[in-house]
Amino acid sequence: MATILSLNNVCKSYTGKAGGVSEVLGGIDLDVEEGEFIAILGFSGAGKTTLISAIAGLVEPDAGEILLRGKAIDGPDKDRGLVFQSYSLFPWLTVEQNVALAVDSVHKDRSKQTRADLVRQKVELVGLGHAMDRKPAQLSGGMRQRVAVARALAMEPEILLLDEPLSALDALTRAKLQDEIDRIREEEKRTIILVTN
């Protein structure tokens, strides 16, 4: 398998209100192979979200480099799908519309029918085909998070980045969604990076 993502000596610090500097990432080196599932564990405040945000292109490292297929990451792009802790769904849109919003913005060059088929496929992949017309308020926490996963997958990213997507869920739902994410990885042969505590 080929290396899809490389982090070389990635460093990031933040300056506090009192002027003190906190090093959050100190010389991180990591190579991720295509199709690999990587879990990054750490305590709260250890820099996990900063790391995944840097991979997503939302945070610029102070030093080092992050390469996707040998090319420097210099901002967000559709080749990296990000799922946050919070569901980040639009409450006035249905499941289908929440996923379609991402598909329509990323895959403008595809026909309307092709985009609709992609939305349906990803919603069904996460087990919510029966809930296409429901709004977030009509869904459980686990179902909302699966919509967020479907939305990220529908962008067809090379890497799926999961920032503690299970932290707000009860133990039973968390275990079920963990199995679901692993099944999706197997079916889609997707590279996944999960940060959790």
pLDDT in tens, 56-112: 999 999 999 999 999 999 999 989 998 887 778 999 999 999 999 999 999 999 999
- For helices 95-106 and 112-125, the axis angle rounded to 10 degrees is 130
For residue 161, the model assigns a pLDDT of: 93
Q: How far apart are CA 13 and CA 2, in angstroms?
A: 31
For residue 126, the model assigns a pLDDT of: 83
For residue 45, the model assigns a pLDDT of: 83
Buried-state track 110-122, b at ≥16 Cβ within 10 A, e below 16: eeeeebeebbbeb
pTM for this predicted structure: 0.86
Neighbours of 20 (CB within 10 A): 8
The full set of domain ranges for the chain reads 3-196
For residue 104, the model assigns a pLDDT of: 93
pLDDT over 70 for what percent of the chain?
99
For residue 20, the model assigns a pLDDT of: 85
Where does the pLDDT of residue 46 fall: very low under 50, low under 70, confident under 90, or very high at 90 and above? confident
Place of tokens 């979200």: 49
Asked whether 8 and 64 are in contact (CB, 8 A), the reply is yes
Q: What are the tokens at 20? A: 């003190």
pLDDT of 188 above 90: no
pLDDT of 176 above 80: no
Overall CATH class of domain 3-196 = alpha beta
pLDDT of 132 above 80: yes
